[in-house]
């Protein structure tokens, strides 16, 4: 309170001066038109408005697809679909009480596309004035709200809600999460067990003069279970769990972040032993001075406050601070100094065994049919994180309920995997020229995949559209082989080119379509990596870094290349010749298999989906050339 009044006294004079200056400027036309809005407001493409309550309902029903936040979290434009109206997209404006961490995590969990729009840059005078006005406006509205709630029946309730809507931080007295609920990250669990012991029996350590570490950093991509692990530590130790998220501090008024951190640590000290979890610490803890166009005061002050609090820990006060990030590379080195987050625990995406154990955890409360084998699901889902797997089983359960079945079957799981990887199923095209072209395209992929020895086996070919794709060919990657050979990479390039090659062989060069765009991008990626990273070209085993991308704050990318112009040219030449010759081989292969292709396409158009076994037995039956022997030498050449 004290502080606040001092602030007003200090700022009152400059503010008055500023106002006079402002009026002078505006009248004189000195300030550019349009500068009147200091922050970017929701664009007026939004058609309607909705209440915050209705927005929460929509979110609960999974109707929200995108949220654009404006004005530092005070309003948003929400994109929602209406399932009753053919999934028509509506854009609605909502006033938000702030960005509560629960809301953020719900958005993230539901995969809602989410963006925060920074305030528009303003002319210097407005910048100064804006900064001065904001705290006053805030104070004004604080007083206004407090009065209103006091004067109204049910006022206290509203006052509390206001307090809550500022999303100060969260406290859970008992998380109820145990280490058994976190699977597939055994090393991380092993390292973190020690922290549980610190929290449970600190005396044991202090008695022998050991200093207990203050904090640890959990490093890993989103959805691997960092938050869950932190909660499990608190749950195992039986201590309260405090959390806040770094991303909330971005776009906040200067000073609020630091005072929130102070409050948090104060509360935590009252409740020690306890655990503090700072999610997305990179949002406040970026290397200072790295941003373009000056730092962000708010971030810096928040970060400094966290560091000050941690440095102020005297001996052992029973508080452990855990932070999570997926960008340890951008963190300020001050964070990583001894006594702060000096321990790093990496939380990696699970391997096949890890995925199996995560599936076991999440299927505990699900009714699975007898045909479902969790190992098979784990095999089909390389690259899935714990969150993806949890989502997968949930999607499968929803499908099962929708189909009015009693148990989740293999079909539901398969459908859910397809849906998560490739998007929603659409309606198949009716027979016609486009469907035929798509069928040839997909059979082209699958046929190359089947005939080229080093290629991953075909799992399924389908003409049922999903997401953006009109047809899809699925391959079953050879699980966890880790190392991939040159022949395999070439085979993958051929497989990806198979679609376009089939179009060309059957319909002629003039008729090829844009449908191969994604494939071609993939090809370019693999080929370039073969040349520049894996030393698999005539240039030899050299690592040629091409534009290391460094992401700075905002949209500015700075690229740095340590490659000379001549090297870059020869890289391009190598890539061109590699892809060019593989494309020629692919066209030749499919041309030789034309009659086989025609017959498989007929069957596919009729059945719409062929699984891997069906497909390969069709190829076996229709092919005229025993190709495998012919193709292996082809791949090892050149
Ligand atoms: P992160 O914080 O790393 O982004 P979360 O801990 O928020 O990931 O994970 C989100 C959800 O995904 C969890 O609540 C849990 O249901 C599931 N999940 C993620 N990782 C695991 C795991 N290793 N074991 C079990 N469940 C997991
Ligand atoms: Mg998290
Ligand atoms: Zn394709």
Q: What CATH number does residue 537 fall under?
A: 1.20.58.760
Closest ligand 1 atom, residue 182 Cα: 24
Q: pLDDT at position 85, please? A: 66
Check if the beta carbon of residue 92 is closer than 8 Å to that of residue 78. yes
- Domain match, 450 and 539 both: yes
User: Residue 411 sits in a domain of what CATH number?
Assistant: 1.10.8.60
- Domain match, 212 and 308 both: yes
Asked whether residue 534 is assigned to any structural domain, the reply reads yes
Bridge-partner residues for 549, per DSSP? 559
Question: How many domains does the chain divide into?
Answer: 4
Check if the beta carbon of residue 145 is closer than 8 Å to that of residue 159. yes
Q: pLDDT at position 311, please? A: 83
Phi first, then psi: give them for residue 26, nearest 5 degrees.
Answer: -65, -45
- pLDDT tens digits, residue range 340-376? 888 899 999 999 899 999 999 999 999 999 989 999 8
The catalytic residue among 442, 453, 479, 511 is 442
Q: How far is the CA of 348 from the centre of ligand 2 (A)?
A: 13
- pLDDT tens digits, residue range 40-96? 333 434 457 777 878 888 888 888 888 887 776 778 888 888 776 667 777 788 887
Q: How far is the CA of 389 from the centre of ligand 1 (A)?
A: 9
Q: Of 116, 132, 159, which residue is a domain's last?
A: 116
Residue 8 above 80 pLDDT?
A: no
- Domain match, 616 and 469 both: yes
- 3-state class of 81 per DSSP? strand
Asked whether residue 3 is assigned to any structural domain, the reply reads no
Residue (of 511, 503, 504, 429) closest to 465 by Cα position: 429
- Domain match, 255 and 231 both: yes
Instruction: Indicate if 608 belongs to the active site.
Output: no
154 belongs to an annotated ligand binding site: no
- Domain match, 60 and 75 both: yes
> CA 75, 79, 82: angle at the middle one, nearest 5?
135
User: Looking at residues 413-418, what average pLDDT do you find?
Assistant: 90
Q: How far is the CA of 109 from the centre of ligand 1 (A)?
A: 10
- Domain match, 101 and 219 both: no
Q: pLDDT at position 209, please? A: 82
Asked whether residue 612 is assigned to any structural domain, the reply reads yes
Asked whether residue 399 is assigned to any structural domain, the reply reads yes
338 band by pLDDT with thresholds 50, 70 and 90 = confident
- Domain match, 263 and 240 both: yes
Q: pLDDT at position 557, please? A: 44
User: Looking at residues 475-481, what average pLDDT do you find?
Assistant: 70
- Domain match, 57 and 93 both: yes
| Residues near ligand 1 (Cβ within 6 A) | 182-185, 220, 222-228, 324, 358, 361, 386-387, 390
Q: What is the DSSP-derived secondary structure letter of residue 451?
A: H
Output the CA–CA distances (angstroms, integers) from residue 403 to 271, 398, 411, 428, 444, in the order listed: 49, 9, 11, 20, 34
- Identify which of 228, 350, 351 to mutate to test ligand 1's pocket (most ligand atoms within 8 A of the CB): 228
Q: pLDDT at position 582, please? A: 96
Lowest-pLDDT range, 121-130, 310-319, 521-530, 532-541? 121-130
Asked whether residue 4 is assigned to any structural domain, the reply reads no
**DSSP letters spanning 513-529:** -GGGHHHHHHHHHHHHH
- The pair of structure tokens assigned to 228 is 């869950």
Asked whether residue 23 is assigned to any structural domain, the reply reads no
* Count of residues in the chain: 638
| Strand pairing class (113-116; 64-70) | parallel
Cα–Cα distance for residue pair 308/262, rounded to 1 Å: 10
Protein residue closest via CA to atom 11 of ligand 1: 387
| Strand pairing class (458-462; 472-475) | antiparallel
Cα 493 to chain centroid distance, Å, stands at 27
Output the CA–CA distances (angstroms, integers) from residue 161 to 244, 287, 308, 327, in the order listed: 18, 35, 30, 34
Residue (of 239, 258, 256) closest to 319 by Cα position: 239
Asked whether residue 369 is assigned to any structural domain, the reply reads yes
Cα–Cα distance for residue pair 476/429, rounded to 1 Å: 26
Cα–Cα distance for residue pair 300/258, rounded to 1 Å: 9
Lowest-pLDDT range, 25-34, 42-51, 583-592? 25-34
250 band by pLDDT with thresholds 50, 70 and 90 = low
246 belongs to an annotated ligand binding site: no
User: Residue 235 sits in a domain of what CATH number?
Assistant: 3.40.50.300
Asked whether residue 325 is assigned to any structural domain, the reply reads yes
**DSSP letters spanning 488-556:** HHHHHHHHHHHHHHHHHHHH-GGG--GGGHHHHHHHHHHHHHHHHTS--STT-S------EEEE-STT-
Residue 230 above 90 pLDDT?
A: yes
- Domain match, 467 and 483 both: yes
Check if the beta carbon of residue 246 is closer than 8 Å to that of residue 285. yes
- Domain match, 175 and 111 both: no
Q: What is the DSSP-derived secondary structure letter of residue 40?
A: P
Q: pLDDT at position 23, please? A: 32
Residue 141 above 80 pLDDT?
A: no
Most confidently modeled of 87-101, 156-170, 368-382, 581-595? 581-595
- Domain match, 100 and 234 both: no
Range of the domain at 412: 352-422
Strand order of the sheet with strand 319-325? 170-172, 241-245, 274-279, 319-325, 215-219, 343-346
User: Residue 102 sits in a domain of what CATH number?
Assistant: 3.30.720.210
- 3-state class of 278 per DSSP? strand
398 sits in which H/E element: helix 386-402
Higher local confidence (pLDDT), 390 or 476: 390
- Domain match, 414 and 316 both: no
């Amino acid at each position: 309170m004290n502080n606040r009044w001092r602030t007003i006294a200090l700022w009152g004079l400059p503010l008055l001066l500023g106002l006079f200056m402002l009026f002078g400027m505006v009248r004189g036309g000195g300030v550019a038109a349009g500068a009147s809005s200091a922050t970017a407001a929701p664009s007026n493409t939004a058609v309607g408005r909705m209440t915050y309550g209705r927005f929460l309902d929509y979110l609960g029903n999974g109707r929200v697809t995108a949220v654009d936040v404006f004005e530092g979290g005070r309003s948003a434009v929400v994109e929602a679909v209406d399932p009753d109206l053919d999934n028509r997209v509506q854009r609605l404006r909502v006033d938000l009480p702030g960005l509560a961490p629960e809301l953020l995590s719900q958005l993230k969990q539901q995969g809602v596309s989410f963006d925060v729009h920074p305030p528009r840059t303003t002319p210097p005078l407005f910048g100064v004035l804006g900064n001065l006005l904001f705290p006053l406006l805030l104070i004004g509205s604080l007083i206004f709200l407090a009065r209103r709630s006091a004067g109204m029946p049910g006022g206290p309730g509203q006052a509390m809600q206001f307090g809550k809507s500022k999303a100060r931080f969260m406290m859970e007295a008992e998380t109820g999460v145990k280490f058994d609920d976190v699977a597939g990250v055994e090393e991380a669990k092993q390292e973190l067990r020690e922290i549980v012991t610190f929290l449970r029996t600190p005396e044991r350590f202090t008695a022998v003069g050991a200093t207990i570490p203050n904090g640890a950093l959990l490093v890993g991509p989103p959805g691997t279970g960092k938050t869950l692990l932190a909660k499990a530590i608190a749950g195992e130790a039986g201590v309260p769990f405090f959390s806040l998220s770094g991303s909330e501090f971005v776009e906040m008024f200067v000073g609020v972040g630091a005072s929130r951190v102070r409050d948090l640590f104060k509360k935590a000290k009252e409740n020690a032993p306890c655990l503090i979890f700072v999610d997305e610490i990179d949002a406040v803890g970026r290397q200072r001075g790295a941003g373009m166009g000056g730092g962000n005061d708010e971030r810096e002050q928040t970060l400094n406050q966290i560091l000050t609090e941690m440095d102020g820990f005297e001996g052992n006060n029973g508080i452990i601070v855990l932070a999570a990030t997926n960008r340890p590379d951008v963190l300020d080195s001050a964070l990583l100094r001894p006594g702060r987050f000096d321990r790093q625990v990496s939380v990696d995406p699970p391997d096949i065994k890890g995925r199996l154990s995560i599936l076991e955890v999440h299927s505990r409360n699900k009714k699975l049919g007898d045909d479902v084998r969790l190992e098979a699901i784990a095999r089909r889902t390389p690259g899935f994180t714990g969150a993806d797997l949890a989502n997968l089983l949930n999607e499968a359960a929803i499908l099962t309920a929708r189909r009015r079945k009693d148990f989740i079957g293999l079909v539901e799981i398969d459908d859910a995997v397809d849906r998560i990887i490739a998007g929603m199923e659409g309606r198949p095209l009716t027979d016609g020229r486009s469907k035929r072209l798509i069928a040839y395209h997909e059979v082209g992929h699958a046929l190359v995949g089947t005939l080229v020895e080093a290629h991953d086996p075909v799992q399924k070919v389908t003409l049922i559209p999903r997401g953006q794709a009109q047809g899809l060919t699925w391959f079953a990657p050879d699980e966890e082989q880790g190392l991939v050979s040159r022949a395999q990479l070439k085979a993958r390039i051929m497989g990806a080119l198979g679609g376009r090659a089939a179009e060309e062989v059957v319909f002629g060069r003039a008729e090829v379509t844009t449908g191969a765009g994604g494939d071609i991008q993939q090809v370019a990626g693999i080929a370039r990596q073969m040349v520049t990273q894996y030393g698999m070209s005539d240039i030899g085993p050299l690592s040629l870094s091409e534009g290391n991308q460094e992401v700075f704050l905002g949209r500015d990318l700075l690229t740095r290349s340590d490659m000379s112009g001549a090297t870059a040219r020869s890289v391009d030449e190598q890539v061109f010749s590699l892809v060019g010759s593989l494309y020629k081989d692919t066209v030749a292969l499919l041309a030789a298999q034309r009659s086989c292709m025609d017959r498989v396409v007929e069957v596919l158009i009729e059945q719409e989906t062929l699984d891997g076994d069906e497909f390969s037995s069709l190829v076996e039956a229709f092919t005229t050339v025993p190709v495998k022997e012919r193709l292996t030498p082809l791949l090892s050449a050149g």
